[in-house]
Amino acid sequence: MALRKTVKRSSHALWVPPAKRPDPIGILLEQGKSRIADLLPIRHQRMKASPFAFLRGAAAVMASDLSFTPKTGLRVQSCGDCHLDNFGCYPSPEGLPVFDINDFDETAPATFEWDLKRLATSLVLAGREASLSEKHCHRLAVSAVQHYADEIARLSKLPPLQAWNERIDLRAVIDGIVDGRIRTGMMEKIQSELGAISGHFGMIDPKSAGRLKEHPPFVTRLPQHNDIVRGAFARYVSDLPPERRIVLERYALQDVLFKVVGIGSVGTFCALGLFMTADNEPLILQIKEAQTSVLEPFQGAVDLPNHGERVVTGQRIMQASSDTFLGWTHTTGKRTTEQTGCKAGGGRDFYVRQTKDVRLAMIGEKIEDALLPEYAALCGRTLGRSHGRSADLPLLAGYLGKGHSFARAIADFAVLYANQSEKDWKAFTQAIADKRVCCA
């Protein structure tokens, strides 16, 4: 096809830092200006842990770097922060365990290969962290990309509606694990956790049914912000479609806690709301700030008035099974467009979802820890399914082809960019030592 001549698949293998490469530390410090300053030392402490942890917090740095690489122009709804720890397990609304991408803070339409390059790089760094050989680390990246290409090829042959409705059943994935001991243990764990799901995941204070448990300093009360969150939740409920609002109006907001989440997200405004019925049935919702996607300066602004709506729209496009209560809202205020990244200016944009069951999510982490090669393939296949919902599948499948040349090229890039991430991490840790970057 013509695109293969203008953007050769082999060209994706290259990474050479441009002469005028923006300073990675400067990018992170600039991003921090829109975050809660008191939480930034926690973010930096978490990024300091390892090159992989640094990569997780440096999505803005990698987006800037990817802007200097060849672009196919084959656009999909992109995750924007596609590393291996942003995949995981969760129950569908029907109670079925599914495996999918589970973080969409940076989602935006973008050229498809950016997600793949970030995923492949994360696998190389994870492999190095697990003391695997360089050959093995490269093989992890090849496997992920090849399974992505195979999934795109498979979906391209299906009717559009069938391709859209494809999902990855976690139980089927575990059934395919060769090691019988691991397979049996994980299957038993799934059944146990699905049976134990109650809607509050041990977060409610056993001494008070109407209060959430604090875990200072990462889950705590900030009374000075309570009115902001309660107002945002009220606005969220009033804006829900009628068929979901009628359910949620049977609950009343009882308690609010503020939570430090992830690595890249640390410093954004995030809180948990405990809702209760008159019969003390609980529902916990998370409200999280949404700022400008790291992709937008390079791939184009998303034409939506609220970044929470951007996150929700991207999640609904990419995920096969999304949260019933997924929605967006905003707060009022006098923050500037530069502070929030919001096109409309003023206030903060948020998205809302049900709180994740971390116990079920840990099953995916156990697959990753015990079976990294299998997990790499699973992530590649999952990303292919996610991209397939918005891609021009025949065109994308034609570009990828039937061989392994594209997979090898992306894996070669991943090794080079993993080396870059390690250099940036060392510079970051030095910046902490020099007091240029604050750290907990």
Q: Please tell me the predicted confidence (pLDDT) of residue 200.
A: 53
| Secondary structure of residue 313 in the 3-state scheme | helix
Query: pLDDT tens digits, residue range 265-297?
Result: 888 889 999 999 999 888 999 999 999 999 999
Predicted pLDDT of residue 260:
86
Q: Considering only 188-197, 267-276, 333-342, which range has the smallest mean pLDDT?
A: 333-342
pLDDT of residue 152: 98
pLDDT at 191 over 90: no
Percent of the chain with pLDDT over 90: 64
Helix (H, G, I), strand (E, B) or coil at 417: helix
> What's the pLDDT score for residue 362?
58
> Tokens 């569908």 map to which residue?
92
Quote the CA–CA distance of 113 and 411 in Å, as a whole number: 12
d(CA 59, CA 81): 6
How does residue 77 score in pLDDT terms, banded at 50, 70 and 90? Answer: very high
pLDDT in tens, 123-158: 999 999 999 999 999 999 999 999 999 999 999 999
Place 337 in a pLDDT band, splitting at 50, 70 and 90: very low
User: What's the pTM?
Assistant: 0.90
| pLDDT confidence of residue 324 | 87
Which residues have a Cβ under 8 Å from the Cβ of 258 and sit 6 or more positions away?
219, 220, 221, 222, 225, 270, 271, 272
Q: For 22-63, what is each residue's pLDDT tens digit?
A: 999 999 999 999 888 888 999 999 999 999 999 999 999 999
What pLDDT sits at residue 339? 38
Mean pLDDT of all residues belonging to the chain: 88
Residues 178-197 have a mean pLDDT of: 64
pLDDT band (50, 70, 90) for residue 202: low
- Arithmetic mean of pLDDT, 161-170: 88
Average pLDDT for residues 68-94, to the nearest whole number? 91
Q: In this structure, how many other beta carbons lie within 10 angstroms of the beta carbon of residue 220?
A: 12
